Structure 1
């Protein structure tokens, strides 16, 4: 009599586990507050400086924590070799530095709501990349249907005006380039997810800190060359506090969570945050900034939750 093979005990793309569900929801909340913190930081710093210094501060804090826990940069070389160093550097440039730059520049020329729709296109881009580069995660009709439903819910949540350019903008070419920049940022996040999944096994803290160091080496010289050293006005502490918050939580902490979720539960599961972030952004906008309720809030939220449920139905209803 042959015994059945035991199912895997650890988290996987088919069964992410309770901890990864908690981390994805927490990441959606943290990234949902990032828009407010960046908006406040821009009141005292230039857009490239905000991107550069949130990476640099986040890298310094994360590298110190990693070294204290024995997960410094030497662990990347010890476990991943030169190939691991290449993946970490590529992740930092493509999935951190590039999206930060593109979003900062693009949102000067388009409605901010379009950036939310563009981020929601990320899971659809991840689907295409997973099919080619990470087929072991499994792509079936339920996941495709769930991602499409979630994207429709995102458009309903933000509203059709998100796809239109600002009426006061005269240069339609800049508007088009701004839209392409936001879509490029979503593409950078998608490529970064696949790179993280395919990278040699390394400690998440070492991988995340290495990626932030690589992003800082790109962004900081660019910021200093174009915007110079930022002048800190202590009488206006709000932009500085907002920048520190953006560096510590949506950048440093979120990078570690992101790497951990992708390496254990897969790129497709991680991409669900692209639908959660706009929801939390709207909720915080209402609660903190006293903004009006979007017209399609409840319908959009229902469709997003339905899409997540459909794409993860096998894991949600799996028998123990």
Structure 2
């Protein structure tokens, strides 16, 4: 049963803001360390934050000695790899060779990948023409928002491979979202902590082997990594599990339309970057697509109010 309530609308809006701001902090962190260290740092910090919160609340990780516990750990392994380790690493590597706008467009395609997967794999997630048109409209809105420069060549040696990596990231996020919905019912904080712990155990040795122990980390770089670990990784994992469990993967996919909007707006407000003239048109298309795809849910929310 889907619960597309006002609280879940607030949760995905919060996720859009948190993840939209993360692009600024990733850029700051990459000045001091490599992409694998960035991924390892944020996942490990996120795991420590969630484990500390879990301990403070007197809860524990799922028991792997129990059959249901083993199933939960299996889903958590899949989610840790495809929602965190692989996409964080690939995206950090790819953004060294592709225009950041291209990565943004790829992330906006995540809902379109989720839609058929959810239709096939998740009970109650039916793909309708209205949803499909709404999601396509939202993706077009992101393309308009970012502009044609997203598809301009950068001339980097690995650009074509990096573009494929960005598309791979979108597929990973979609697969991780479906797995989160299909996971057996469990305490959501415990699930989030399990996912992050598994991710940290996988990515940390890889980062140390590939890039070594980071040296010369500035205060700005440290604060950027701290933000990335606590909010876009730790807190966001809790919200991600909550929204997926209650409202379903198709609804959760809408957050990928909000991330580029916040990224552009915050870049203008905080970094004094010029706001694109396509901002209003892009946001109109995005909001129109969201409203069309979730029309019935929006009506229920307003009628309750």
Per the TM alignment, residue 239 of structure 1 is displaced from its structure 2 partner at its CA by 0.6
* TM-score, normalised via structure 1 length: 0.91
SS in 1 for 2:62: helix
CA distance in 2, matches of 1:306, 1:163: 24
- Residues 104 and 255 from structure 1, CA distance in 2 versus in 1: closer, same or farther, beyond 3 angstroms? same
In structure 2, the residue matched to 1:267 is 249
> Given the alignment of the two structures, is residue 48 of structure 1 paired with residue 30 of structure 2, yes or no?
no
Q: 1-side partners of 2:108 and 2:20: how far apart?
A: 13
Contact kept in structure 2, 1:77 and 1:85, CA below 8 Å: no
Does the aligned pair in 2 maintain the 1:94–1:192 contact within 8 Å? Answer: yes
Tell me if structure 2 keeps the 8 A contact 1:77–1:84.
no
Q: How many residues align?
A: 302
1:2-56 Cα shifts (integer Å, max 9, x gaps): xxxxxxxxxx53x510110111101100011110111111111111101001101
What's the counterpart of residue 219 of structure 2? 237
1:32 matched to 2:20? The reply is: yes
Equivalent of residue 57 in structure 2, options 59, 62, 69: 69
User: Distance in 2 between the 1:135 and 1:129 partners?
Assistant: 11
CA 1:258–1:28 in structure 2 vs 1: closer, same or farther (change >3 Å)?
A: same
Pairwise CA distance, 1:77: 6.1
Distance across 2 between alignment mates of 1:113 and 1:213: 31
1:74 aligns to what SS in structure 2? coil
> What stretches of structure 2 of length at least 5 have no aligned partner?
none
CA contact (8 A) 1:232 1:240 kept: no
Q: What residue in structure 1 maps to residue 192 of structure 2?
A: 208
Any gaps of 5 or more consecutive residues in structure 1? 1-11
Q: Secondary structure at the match of 2:93?
A: helix
Verify the 8 A CA contact 2:116 2:127 in the aligned structure 1: no
TM-score relative to the length of structure 2? 0.95
Does the aligned pair in 1 maintain the 2:76–2:194 contact within 8 Å? yes
Deviations, residues 90-133 of structure 1 (Å, cap 9, x unaligned) = 10011110100110111111111100000001000001111110
- Tell me if 1:94 matches 2:82: yes
Report the structure number with the largest CA radius of gyration. Answer: 1
1:60 Cα deviation from its structure 2 partner: 0.9
1:84: how far off?
A: 1.1
The answer to whether residue 104 in structure 2 is matched with residue 111 in structure 1 is no
1:3 aligned partner: none
